[in-house]
Amino acid sequence: GNSVTQMEGPVTLSEEAFLTINCTYTATGYPSLFWYVQYPGEGLQLLLKATKADDKGSNKGFEATYRKETTSFHLEKGSVQVSDSAVYFCALSVIGSQGNLNFGKGTKLSVKP
């Protein structure tokens, strides 16, 4: 079946630190991969996505590269800000699944000034 595993949180960093949130997946078929972000008290927002191997998704300084060989889609940011404090969800969808998303459990990030 299809599933997503992401690193357990919470993750606490100081402002301007480097961020990595690991995400690996298993999928039957050819998945598209997504990172969603949920800021406190809000719904989910699409952060970035990649639809095929070696694609790099990027947005707001965040990046993730679709690595088929390691079945990974790790989220990175070179210098986090306090405003990046949120819960980050890795997710996948498989072609033909009519948009059904499989979510990871979420990783809570807290950035301290």
Partner 1 sequence: SAVISQKPSRDICQRGTSLTIQCQVDSQVTMMFWYRQQPGQSLTLIATANQGSEATYESGFVIDKFPISRPNLTFSTLTVSNMSPEDSSIYLCSVVGHDQETQYFGPGTRLLVL
Residues engaged in binding partner 1 (CB under 8 A):
32, 34, 36, 42-46, 49, 51, 89, 93, 95, 98-101, 103-106
In angstroms, give the least distance from the CB of 56 to partner 1. 16
Residue 10: DSSP 8-state: -
In angstroms, give the least distance from the CB of 7 to partner 1. 13
Show the beta-strand stretches assigned E in 3-101: 3-6, 11-14, 19-21, 23-26, 31-38, 44-50, 56-59, 62-65, 75-77, 86-94
In angstroms, give the least distance from the CB of 41 to partner 1. 8
In angstroms, give the least distance from the CB of 90 to partner 1. 10
Give backbone dihedrals phi and psi of 83, rounded to 5 degrees, phi first: -70, -10
Which positions ≥6 away from 83 have C-beta within 8 Å? 111
